[in-house]
Structure 1
Amino acid sequence: MALSPHYLTRRDLTSPESRLWDALARWDAVHHHDKLSAPEDAVNLAPGDPSQVDVNTGATWGSDRQVRADLIRQILLGRTERCRPRKLVLAGARITGRLDLEHLALTCHLKLVSCYFDDTLVLDQAEASGIYLINCHLPSIEATQLHTRHSFKAENCTIRNGVTLIGARIDGQLVLRNTKLLGVSRSHNDALAADALTVGRGMYCDKGFRSEGPVSLVGAQIGGRLKFDGARLRHAGETALHADELVVAGNLCMAPNCEVVGAVLLNAARIGELDCAGAQLDHGTGAALQAVGLQVAQSVRFNNGFRAVGGVDITNCQIGGRLDCTKGEFIQGGGRPALEMSRARVEQNMLCRTGFRATGMVLLDGADIRGNLSWEGGQFNNGAGVAISAQGVRVGRNVRLAKIADPGSPHAVKFQATGSVVLADSEIGGQLDCQGGSFDGQGGPALSAPGLIVGSDLLLANDFHATGTVRLIGAEVRGHADWSGGRFHTDVGAVAVNATRLVVHHNLDFGNRFSAVGSVVLDGSQIKGKIESSRASLHNPNGEALSASRVEALQGIRLLHRFAATGTVNLESASIGVELTIDGAKLTAADGTLLNLRGAEITGTLRLAKPSERTINGEIDLSYARVLQLDDTGFVWPARTRLDHFTYETLEEGDQSLTGRRKEWLSSSSAGTQSRQVYQQLAKVYRAAGKSAAAREVLVAGEDARAKELPNSWRRGLRRLLRLTIGYGHHPFWIIRWFVGAWALGGLLFYLLDYYGQIALANNLDGIPSCLQQAQGNIPACPPEHTKTTANTPPSFFGWVYSLDLLLPVVSLGQRAVWFPLHGWVWVTSFFTCLGWIFATTLVYGLSRAIQRE
């Protein structure tokens, strides 16, 4: 059929085309006869109801439904006789030939309903008012750099070999709703090639949109929304949606029920809001969604049934609203993170609450979350690896890794992490709340947070459960640290809690059924409040149950009411203010050391109250410790105590039995030269309290302890003598009792000797021979008259005076110079004389020691 170079005439038309011609004629009549009141601005060929047309059978339609592509081209170019319609509507037609509108400016809208194209629709560099393809079947659409002043729609269409819209400009909407792209473009190998596309009012690939090949939107700019809700994008093992540097002014919606088999790439994209709630992404072991450098002005939602097999990578992204992953599932089995958002910035909250599941690592290193990080009820599983890596994270408000009430159940849902949770060098502006959370390190650390800074409280309490070490080395808590009711379990002999150099600005509480299997380490920590624990259980029988050497507790330490430690409680070199109270505690240690306070300094009271058991088996080490006040009024000291250089300034007053108990306590201290010091310390405190008698009693007990340590029996005997006579110099006047006893005994002895005639004059008086000589048989017996005294009669013999005269050295009472025992009793005088000198010397020694002490 020949066409004129400019205009098409009726003679050139076939039957269906003639109907189209008639429509053109009616349009012309309307516009050239003013008497018609309702002008038509469209040319419409619509046989019957287009919805009843099965366009998939269009290849079999005969000539009665065929329209040549060239005719449509001429009409759109305005090359018909006198007719230039504003809209061309064609329904139920089979368009034969190639409708090639490349580089043409169309004079009217084009609307094709239920049409079947034999060949490609070419719109490259064309300009049109609007193009609408409804329920059409096409081989492909080539529309590179197409420009439409209104919308471009290919709705409910089937396109076998893809759509090309590279560089196109759609001032209105781009609608591909419920369209099926069954193959890829021959020129670009994409099901939808729309790189550098510009859309003024929104792009809709939703409600049944389907692509069997990649969709490319690299560098595209969408003025409104970009919707993929209900879409199916499939390119298994490869990229299904490639939208790097995409710009969407509104929201990019893949919710609900969007399914993507293959990767979604949104690297460096800028989006108003990203909504993937309920979307299903599957890329095997690769990242299902990769959006490195993504910028979202509002919120991102991976929630309400969202599932990503292959994980999500939003490294270095910026989110102006919140990131909601509640009830989302992230699965990665290829060694990559299930959710990777290192260096991400979220202006509001990040939510991974009840129903959230991550199989693989969640990586947040260097992320900045300005609101809350709320992961209550979330489940994180990475086997023996790292479940959550959040090194250097900054959170503006609270972090919650806790349990949460389930709205559909009377029970609470726990936060669960299988694998290590790492919060090293992170900074949290509010609380770190792990109450009721379950952390299982699978052989590694359960929670690793060295260098962590918490702006408020650290809550590892109320059924918190950690299987593996909890590391808080060098962490700082600017509120309270509450571990009450927490369970920290690892292997016996290992470290359950390593909080070396921990700084807590208020109190540290680990009571109320707190349980630890393994050592709890607080070495070098600084607690500006107090450390308090009651009804706690620490179990590490072969080592230290609580290691708090060099700890600083400004408000004191209280271990109360059924506090039980199987293993040593080590407070060596600790600095404790106000008080250290151990009341009702049960301490047990396999190596014997129950409590180690060596070198500790307590500027308040050391209160050792009634223990949980009557007998304490083990040792308490207080050597080199310094205490302001010691209160042991209700304490039962163990059989072994190390007290060398233990000093205290005052003692709590109690009944008189305390002194005896304290002497037993001191006697249990370690042997050696330091034993003197421990007794001197107690005596010093007694003297300062005005209890001199108790002080001397303690010092005597100390000398008794030293005597037992002497290697030689004679030295021990000498010390025993000093003990009995002058109380080692602490009771010098005890010797007077011995002196009086010796005097009384001597007086009785000499009285009896005199009674039986065994006392005689020692020398002659006025020529009268001594009775001693008479008794020795050198001269005859004294005549009877000599027994009477004369003017020079010696003094009468008095046994008690004679005994006193013998016992008093230097001083003479005139008895021992005149009278003398007979026979072997003469040696008694020598014994009493020596005894007197011993008494005198001992008294002088005792007095000198007493003066020296003063």
Structure 2
Amino acid sequence: MEINDLTPAEARVWRAFATGTAVDFRAADDEDPAEGGTWGPERTVRASVLRALLLDGPRADGEVAALSLAGARVTGPLELAYATVDHPVRLRHCHFDDVPRLYAARLREVNLSESVLPGLISHAVRVDGVLRLTRARFGGMVRLGGAEITGSLYLESTEIHAPDTEGPVLQLNQAVLGADLWAPGLRARGTVRLDGARVAGTVNLTDAVLDRPDGTALQAETLAAEADVLMRHAEVRGRLEFRGARIPGRLDLSQARLVNPGGTALRASSCVIGELWLRQCPTVEGTLNLRRSQVEVLFVEPEVVPHWVQLNDLTYTSLVPHEPAERRLPMLERGDSYLPFIYEQLTASYRRIGDDDAARLVQLAKQRRHRRTLPWYGRVWGLLQDAAVGYGFRPLRAGGWLLSLLAVGSVAYGLRHPPPLKPAESPDFNPVFYTLDLLLPVISFGQESAFAPEGWYQYLGYVLIVMGWILATTVVAGVTRTVSRQ
């Protein structure tokens, strides 16, 4: 392209390129690039001119050529598909009439911060440096699927609103980032896709607003982040999908609001996570799915847990903050079926910190939940064990029953002695030891065989014998269960 074919604005950009000099067409720093469609020729640059500069622009000895432009209206599509560009590209505060096409291009540093664009086609792009889209506004899809960025991708306070888009509005699936995905304050109306992405640093979505009601707001299946995934103070309307993710640091959802009524709000199943934080949040609206995941530290406050949870095969080493078992147990009752494993996990977490009372309470709750799955006769027997000795976890309760029955029998038979079977050979009657003879099936004090009660006293004797057998059986069953568990 000859410089004679250029407008005055384009000629200014052309001359500045050789030395990397910045060109700023803005009349004021607070100009809104969204109004760039009204900007005149004095600040309009054709995309074809920018393409010619980047591919074969002038050079100056001893200088680093670079495209550094601000406050311009860029007309026509910037076509750099498959191109190799060795110069930094900085197009800040610009207004693009058409979608830039950077498919499979190889670029150096790219900066489109504070610009307004109808979209971005840059899947399979390689950027040897950083890609900055800070505070940019997109009216269509941002395609970065399969991108390879040796540095960080900056999406801080970026807005993506693509009302006519059926697919994801931000595609980062299978992208490879050599540093961070830095996107605090990101605003996206539609699905953000991170499936299979690999991030060598941190994924920062603090204060992000991801809006995809009745759909998936963040699709991050098999995401691999080498550090943390931060979503503090985020607001997510739609499904948050992390199935199969690998996050050795934190998945931090502190003070986040997750809303997907009638569907899954958070799915972090089959994941390997160092720490999962759900704290200081409003109650999750939707299902919480943590099935088959491995978590070292599970930081979940009871009031955050929604009505419906899926925890089968979830393993965790520590559960914090430390809460009484009564506050943790409702979380285990909210699943769709009885799952012994989740009770064992909670029991183990309490035993690990030495809270044996809480561990026993969890085991008692497990037996009671199991009882509801049994046929009627199993439930009756379970109720007897529960009432008698709390399934072996309340052994002192058996002593209370024994003392109560002993007091009843002693008073009843003390007021009316049963007649002896053989008056000449019978020992002196003792109401206490006579009642013990009836209650204790394997111990005999010689009282029961020497006296025969009559009338309702005889029926009282039958009741004491039956209650004695029930107590003995439940005590043995409970003790056996406790010993085998230890």
Taking a change above 3 Å as real, the CA distance of residues 558 and 825 of structure 1, as seen in their structure-2 partners, is same
**Superposition RMSD in Å:** 3.1
Is 2:113 the partner of 1:435?
yes
Alignment of 1:229-378 (within 5 A): 275-276=3-4, 303-304=11-12, 355-358=43-46, 367=55, 371-378=65-72
Q: Distance in 2 between matches of 1:649 and 1:539?
A: 33
Q: Distance in 2 between matches of 1:747 and 1:364?
A: 108
In structure 2, which of residues 99, 102, 125 is the aligned counterpart of residue 423 of structure 1? 102
Q: Distance in 2 between matches of 1:802 and 1:739?
A: 14
Unaligned runs of at least 5 residues, structure 1: 1-265, 267-273, 281-300, 307-319, 329-352, 404-414, 441-445, 767-791
Match of 1:29 in 2: none
Is 2:281 the partner of 1:553?
no
- Alignment check: 8 A CA contact 1:529 1:556 kept: yes
Is 2:267 the partner of 1:596?
yes
- Alignment check: 8 A CA contact 1:468 1:496 kept: yes
Match of 1:646 in 2: 314
Is 2:358 the partner of 1:694?
yes
Q: Distance in 1 between matches of 2:401 and 2:245?
A: 50
Alignment of 1:471-550 (within 5 A): 471-491=143-163, 494-512=167-185, 514-550=186-222
One-letter code aligned to 1:400: R
Q: Distance in 2 between matches of 1:765 and 1:685?
A: 63
Q: Distance in 2 between matches of 1:323 and 1:556?
A: 37
Larger radius of gyration: 1
One-letter code aligned to 2:188: A
User: What SS does structure 1 have at the residue aligned with 2:169?
Assistant: strand
Q: Name the TM-score, length of structure 1 as normaliser.
A: 0.50
Q: Distance in 1 between matches of 2:382 and 2:52?
A: 75
Match of 1:294 in 2: none
Q: Distance in 2 between matches of 1:511 and 1:813?
A: 80
Q: Distance in 1 between matches of 2:302 and 2:396?
A: 35
In structure 2, which of residues 74, 84, 89 is the aligned counterpart of residue 380 of structure 1? 74
Match of 2:140 in 1: 468
Deviation readout 1:144-172 (Å, 9 max, x if unpaired): xxxxxxxxxxxxxxxxxxxxxxxxxxxxx
CA-CA distance at 1:544 after TM superposition: 0.9
Taking a change above 3 Å as real, the CA distance of residues 653 and 620 of structure 1, as seen in their structure-2 partners, is closer
- Alignment check: 8 A CA contact 2:21 2:66 kept: no
Q: Distance in 1 between matches of 2:107 and 2:405?
A: 84
Is 2:119 the partner of 1:449?
no
User: What SS does structure 2 have at the residue aligned with 1:435?
Assistant: coil
Q: Distance in 2 between matches of 1:796 and 1:364?
A: 120
Deviation readout 1:278-312 (Å, 9 max, x if unpaired): 579xxxxxxxxxxxxxxxxxxxx951599xxxxxx
CA-CA distance at 1:717 after TM superposition: 2.8
CA-CA distance at 1:607 after TM superposition: 1.7
Taking a change above 3 Å as real, the CA distance of residues 484 and 739 of structure 1, as seen in their structure-2 partners, is same
CA-CA distance at 1:677 after TM superposition: 1.1
Taking a change above 3 Å as real, the CA distance of residues 325 and 579 of structure 1, as seen in their structure-2 partners, is closer
Is 2:261 the partner of 1:571?
no
- Alignment check: 8 A CA contact 1:733 1:843 kept: no
Taking a change above 3 Å as real, the CA distance of residues 423 and 729 of structure 1, as seen in their structure-2 partners, is farther
- Alignment check: 8 A CA contact 1:473 1:502 kept: yes
Q: Distance in 2 between matches of 1:549 and 1:588?
A: 19
Match of 1:606 in 2: 276
- Alignment check: 8 A CA contact 1:493 1:542 kept: no
Unaligned runs of at least 5 residues, structure 2: 26-40, 58-63
Deviation readout 1:792-828 (Å, 9 max, x if unpaired): 4x22222222111111112101111112211242232
CA-CA distance at 1:490 after TM superposition: 1.5
CA-CA distance at 1:376 after TM superposition: 3.5
User: What SS does structure 2 have at the residue aligned with 1:546?
Assistant: strand
Match of 2:448 in 1: 816
Match of 1:262 in 2: none
CA-CA distance at 1:322 after TM superposition: 7.5
Deviation readout 1:168-205 (Å, 9 max, x if unpaired): xxxxxxxxxxxxxxxxxxxxxxxxxxxxxxxxxxxxxx
Q: Distance in 2 between matches of 1:648 and 1:569?
A: 21
Q: Distance in 2 between matches of 1:518 and 1:525?
A: 18
Q: Distance in 1 between matches of 2:355 and 2:462?
A: 42
Match of 1:660 in 2: 326
- Alignment check: 8 A CA contact 1:671 1:709 kept: no
Taking a change above 3 Å as real, the CA distance of residues 305 and 742 of structure 1, as seen in their structure-2 partners, is closer
Match of 1:807 in 2: 439
Q: Distance in 2 between matches of 1:838 and 1:807?
A: 10
Q: Distance in 1 between matches of 2:430 and 2:187?
A: 83
Match of 2:80 in 1: 390
Match of 1:677 in 2: 341
Deviation readout 1:493-529 (Å, 9 max, x if unpaired): 63111100122222222223x2100011111111221
Deviation readout 1:238-294 (Å, 9 max, x if unpaired): xxxxxxxxxxxxxxxxxxxxxxxxxxxx9xxxxxxx5427579xxxxxxxxxxxxxx
- Alignment check: 8 A CA contact 2:302 2:331 kept: no
One-letter code aligned to 2:66: N
- Alignment check: 8 A CA contact 1:516 1:538 kept: yes
- Alignment check: 8 A CA contact 1:482 1:509 kept: yes
Q: Distance in 1 between matches of 2:367 and 2:289?
A: 22
Taking a change above 3 Å as real, the CA distance of residues 635 and 433 of structure 1, as seen in their structure-2 partners, is farther
User: What SS does structure 1 have at the residue aligned with 2:350?
Assistant: helix
User: What SS does structure 2 have at the residue aligned with 1:839?
Assistant: helix
Match of 2:37 in 1: none
Taking a change above 3 Å as real, the CA distance of residues 515 and 327 of structure 1, as seen in their structure-2 partners, is closer
One-letter code aligned to 1:760: P
Match of 2:409 in 1: 746
Deviation readout 1:381-400 (Å, 9 max, x if unpaired): 44xxxx22211222324222
Q: Name the TM-score, length of structure 2 as normaliser.
A: 0.86
- Alignment check: 8 A CA contact 1:354 1:378 kept: no
Q: Distance in 2 between matches of 1:302 and 1:645?
A: 63
- Alignment check: 8 A CA contact 1:362 1:389 kept: no
Q: Distance in 1 between matches of 2:42 and 2:7?
A: 18
Select the structure that is richer in strand: 1
- Alignment check: 8 A CA contact 1:366 1:391 kept: no
Deviation readout 1:654-697 (Å, 9 max, x if unpaired): 3xx5422211111122324xx21111110011112211111110
Taking a change above 3 Å as real, the CA distance of residues 750 and 428 of structure 1, as seen in their structure-2 partners, is farther
Taking a change above 3 Å as real, the CA distance of residues 717 and 375 of structure 1, as seen in their structure-2 partners, is farther
Taking a change above 3 Å as real, the CA distance of residues 698 and 323 of structure 1, as seen in their structure-2 partners, is closer
How many equivalent residue pairs? 462
Deviation readout 1:178-233 (Å, 9 max, x if unpaired): xxxxxxxxxxxxxxxxxxxxxxxxxxxxxxxxxxxxxxxxxxxxxxxxxxxxxxxx
Is 2:398 the partner of 1:735?
yes
Taking a change above 3 Å as real, the CA distance of residues 460 and 506 of structure 1, as seen in their structure-2 partners, is same
CA-CA distance at 1:830 after TM superposition: 2.5
CA-CA distance at 1:765 after TM superposition: 4.5
Deviation readout 1:393-426 (Å, 9 max, x if unpaired): 22324222321xxxxxxxxxxx222332221222
Match of 2:297 in 1: 629
Match of 1:847 in 2: 479
User: What SS does structure 2 have at the residue aligned with 1:577?
Assistant: strand
Match of 1:829 in 2: 461
Taking a change above 3 Å as real, the CA distance of residues 354 and 599 of structure 1, as seen in their structure-2 partners, is farther
